[in-house]
Structure 1
Amino acid sequence: MQKLNLTGSAKHQTDDQMKGLSAVFVDGDEVFVDNGAIHAKSRLEVGIKFVSSLEEVPNPRHIEGIWITLKRQANGLGYTGAMPFELWIDSDSKLGYKKLSDHVNQMDKAVRGNVDLSRLSKEAVVKAGQFLQTVRADLWENATDAFRAAFSQAED
């Protein structure tokens, strides 16, 4: 089973607000956590040269991501923030495109506890929601109502 490294603590010194932050990627049928994304060093990004426009990427694969944050709730640690971001990667040419400012702004909103998955495909929201419910059921049980509702709406 994949370990979800959302513990509310970090192994390195960082701003306290960033300690409960992680990234969940939906790459086709694969859903996974990669905390390297916080520093633009996810397994998808390493070795990729990011260019200034999507048109420069020959065969872009669209990857949807969600910044996820944890916060202590009345019943314990739970999911609170969820904001989307996107990457386009061509692994063969080692080129990619992302809007860095959007990644940072969405990360900030997630850290503040905002939840808005409207920019994601319904399929990505369903896959990510199922993943988050099963990987750490305790975090899902302690999630805010807004967090659970955002993922549940996609299943309707």
Structure 2
Amino acid sequence: MEVGGKKINALNVVSNKEHKGFGAGSIDLNNVSAVIIDKDGEEAYIDLGALHAKSKVEKGIKFSANKEDVPNGRRCWIVWIAVDKREEGMYYAGATACEMLVDTEARRGWKILADHVNKMDYAMKRRIVLDGLSDGEKAALKRCLIEYNEGMWDASTDELKEKLG
């Protein structure tokens, strides 16, 4: 999205565009976005690059499925956010958190790709799975969602609000 000539990140909102071509009808990412939580919950921001493993924290990082390969990695999270529409309006319908370790200096990282794919699917199925997030990380996610669109936060489920405190 561009505002005043400056590109800004935004959550995807349910689209009326129909995807045609290979894989049409198999998966719809129009209503899924990603929030990155970094720096022990001090930073939470929308990064649509995560949909293709090209978020700010993932760029230039060689990922391994072995945690031991990243002894100095900092913990980061990708939180898949699905949005939907109902009578009350747009709301945050699904939210699932996936852990990563990233060592920017060594350009190495750890993540379990299957977990990221499954959690994205869970978010699209309107599940709320935020296990493992610290209180600070939950607060950062909540702040990010409210700052992006307080009306969507207000219309969201009690389950999401309770899990984020």
Identity of aligned residues (%): 32
SS of 1:63's partner is strand
Query: Structure 1: which 5+ runs fail to align?
Result: none
Give a deviation string over 1:110-148, Cα, whole Å, max 9, x none. 100001222211211111112211221121122122222
Residues in 2 aligned to 1:3 and 1:36: alpha-carbon distance in whole angstroms: 10
Alpha-carbon contact 2:32-2:124 (below 8 Å) kept: yes
Partner of 1:77: 90
Q: Which amino acid is 2:12 matched to?
A: L
Residues in 2 aligned to 1:109 and 1:75: alpha-carbon distance in whole angstroms: 23
Give a deviation string over 1:55-108, Cα, whole Å, max 9, x none. 112410111221111011211111010111011111111111101011111111
Q: Over alpha carbons, which structure has the higher Rg?
A: 2
Of 113, 116, 129 in structure 2, the residue corresponding to residue 103 of structure 1 is: 116
SS of 1:17's partner is coil
Please report how far the alpha carbon of residue 52 of structure 1 lies from its aligned counterpart in structure 2 after TM superposition.
2.8
Alpha-carbon contact 2:9-2:48 (below 8 Å) kept: no
Residues in 1 aligned to 2:123 and 2:132: alpha-carbon distance in whole angstroms: 14
- Pairs within 5 Å for 1:68-147: 68-147=81-160
Partner of 1:19: 30
Question: In the comparison of the two structures, how many residue pairs are matched?
Answer: 152
Q: Which amino acid is 1:142 matched to?
A: A
Alpha-carbon contact 1:4-1:136 (below 8 Å) kept: no
Q: Give the TM-score, by structure 2 length.
A: 0.82
Partner of 1:6: 12
Structure-2 change in CA distance of 1:3 and 1:51 (3 Å): closer
Alpha-carbon contact 1:58-1:93 (below 8 Å) kept: no
Query: Structure 2: which 5+ runs fail to align?
Result: none
Please report how far the alpha carbon of residue 35 of structure 1 lies from its aligned counterpart in structure 2 after TM superposition.
1.1
CA RMSD across the alignment: 2.2
**Hey, which of these two has a bigger chunk of helix by percent?**
1
Partner of 1:51: 64
